[in-house]
Amino acid sequence: MRKVLVLFAHPKFEHSEVNQALIKAITGLENIEIRDLYELYPDFNISIQKEQEALFEAEVVIWHHPIYWYSCPPLMKQWIDLVLEFAWAYGPGGIYLKGKYILNAITTGGSQEAYQHQGRNNYEIGDFLRPFEQTARLCHMHYLAPFHVAGTHKITDQQLLQKAHSYKEFLLNLRDGADISQFNNR
């Protein structure tokens, strides 16, 4: 059983029904730790020490956040800037994340079709996530395909329930699956 760490960042979680459903579905599961970044660091004063300890324990890491303007909310970026230190996460001696798995779990207002080369956003979601992918690679981590909940503006309760369930299954698989490198997106 792998340890899974969900790094969750939503500046206004109380207003996001989708993310509430997702988080609710994965709360209280064994070996799945959720770190709610906006709750932990309302003033953006991230404790690098604590975050690195949590990272060190985990084998699978998830960046869970909504997509705002084709990227993550600012606190998540702050987390990346501060926690993934030189000579700890990358560079000489930066071996503490080596071999771990990481991926984005994201929600977008735009639909799956909007994130197509012919769609309104011109690129696929994976293209927008390139910075995360390369970040993972620089830290010697395996970057896996994202978990994507699209079209949140028009999602029905039924659909949402389904999505939440599959998010839970997805995480359980990451936790218990024999070989998870199959999730690799390329």
Partner 1 sequence: MNGFLLNAILYILAAIICVPVAKKLGMGSVLGYLIAGILIGPYLLGFITNEGEGQDIMHATEFGVVMMLFLIGLELEPKNLWKMRQLIVKVGLTQVLITAALVFGIGMMLEIRWQISLAIGLSMALSSTAIVLQSLKEKNQMNNPIGRMSFGVLLMQDVAVIPILALLPLLIFGEATPATDAAGMHGLVDSFPGWAQTLSIFAAIGIVVLLGQYGFGPLLNWVAKTRVRELFTASALLIVVGISFLMELVGLSPALGAFLAGVILANSPYKHALESDLEPFKGLLLGLFFMAVGSTINFSLIFNNASTVISLTLGIILLKTIILLIIGKTKKLRLASNLSFAIGLSQVGEFSFVTYAFALQLGIFDQSISDTLMAVTALSMTITPILMVILDKVIIPAINQTHKAIEKDMDSIDEHNKVILVGFGHFGSTLGRFLRANGVEATILDSDPDRVEYLRKMGFKVYFGDGTRAELLQSAGANEASILISAIDNTEYSIKLVELCREDFPHLEVMIRAKNRYDAFELMEIGVENIYREHLDTSIRMGEDVLKKLGFRAHTVHRLAKQFRDYDEDALKVLVKFKDNRDEYISKSRQQIELQESLLSGELMRKFSINDHTWDSDSIKEAANTDGNS
Residues in contact with partner 1 by CB under 8 A are 11-15, 38-43, 75, 109-111, 114, 120, 152-154
Q: Distance between CA atoms of 96 and 56, rounded to whole angstroms?
A: 7
Q: How far is the CB of 67 from partner 1 (least distance, A)?
A: 12
State the nearest-atom distance from the C-beta of 41 to partner 1, in Å: 8
Please report how close the Cβ of residue 43 comes to partner 1 at its closest, in angstroms: 6
**Burial level of 22, CB count in 10 A (0-12/13-18/19+)?**
buried
Dig out the tokens for 132 from the structure. Answer: 């995360």
Q: Could you give the CA distance from residue 42 to residue 8 in angstroms, rounded to a whole number? A: 13
Which residue's CB is nearer to partner 1, number 38 or number 70? 38
The least CB distance from residue 152 to partner 1, in Å, is 8
Q: Which is nearer to partner 1, 42 or 131 (CB)?
A: 42
Place of tokens 């604590």: 50
Cβ distance to partner 1 smaller for residue 31 or 78: 78
Name the residue nearer to partner 1 (CB basis): 94 or 110: 110
